Structure 1
């Protein structure tokens, strides 16, 4: 689940840094901030709620990107990445729990999946987002992944009308070629929703699209998180250099 969509203004922070989690304790730091955002803030129903952490079966196969405030050593943002060799060990990608990805089978050994992205409420500013993008770019570059995939979530707090309107706004210009299409297991009922609202595209999704990502199918409904999830497919070779420089630059 991705929750970089609400970014109220805060003062920039110049003492943030990113790294990959190297210990079980660092992975738990990521799982705690995910719980804070997804369960406490967004109301997600998590089976690991009693532990105060967001834990699922994919975590042990993923690399976990941490953004840390070096002044207080606090983890303030996270992404997790599931590389192709570990997706095999995990029995598939997380996205396959929401989408039929049969048409992407020929890309499997070149795809890295990103997800479970979130930022602490006090750090939702450009500096934190830049660190997350920079860490992700560093990871992709070092590992030579050719395709980035993931589920980008949209709140369904209004029953789904906002999500349906966002989908209608973006899919016509950014739909994937038919051979890259995926199909939701639990589709958002677009026919029953108002798809004509005047909406702003969530910042994270807008960022993916500016980089050159495709929307590869209709949105899926995730009842546990009460979100509509768009399947994002970003061929690294298609990445827009102008926006890649902006979104994935290293902060000075």
Structure 2
């Protein structure tokens, strides 16, 4: 039986919540008593997921383009209108980008990866944190990657973007340390989600070869760690990096 963290009465926004790790987080949050807003750019998929999960608790779909601050602020306002406030923010949405040598990397593709993977979490934190401060409580969980610690070859944009997410977590965690607002991140190994569709098979094989457990992480395993970080039980730790890499991480 899964450990149940008490999220009763809490209101969460999960970016990229329509599928993969984000959906697993939404399900785990609902099972823990939270209400969930699925923030996703794929409106149809977000609404489909929200409908499928509606029997588990209160869940809404909010369309948003995370690369635009005004869109993020609109999503925040829409969520606050529906729920009253946002207690938990999970910055999960991200893309892998193409696999290429750094000196051959398409600048447009680099910019797109940074826009979604770095600007997106920054905009979300910028939009949501003032409300958390006002309400006197909050939990922010950023989904980084083991690639942000070690740097994967042929994935410089993705690796650099996830390193930036780790640094953003540490900076914001220190800035909010005087409040009951925890800011932490997780660094999963690769999981078999739609993001694999963006990767070359050679790169997928490389990632698997680096995991001592000799398998990819399950989305439910990542969601379990995120749920702890999003709970009131995670009351002292902030600015931390929680490894979910199957033994790959060396620090």
TM-score between the two structures when normalised by the length of structure 2: 0.32
Structure holding more helix per residue = 2
TM-score between the two structures when normalised by the length of structure 1: 0.32
Higher relative contact order (CA 8 A, sep 6+): 1
Structure holding more strand per residue = 1
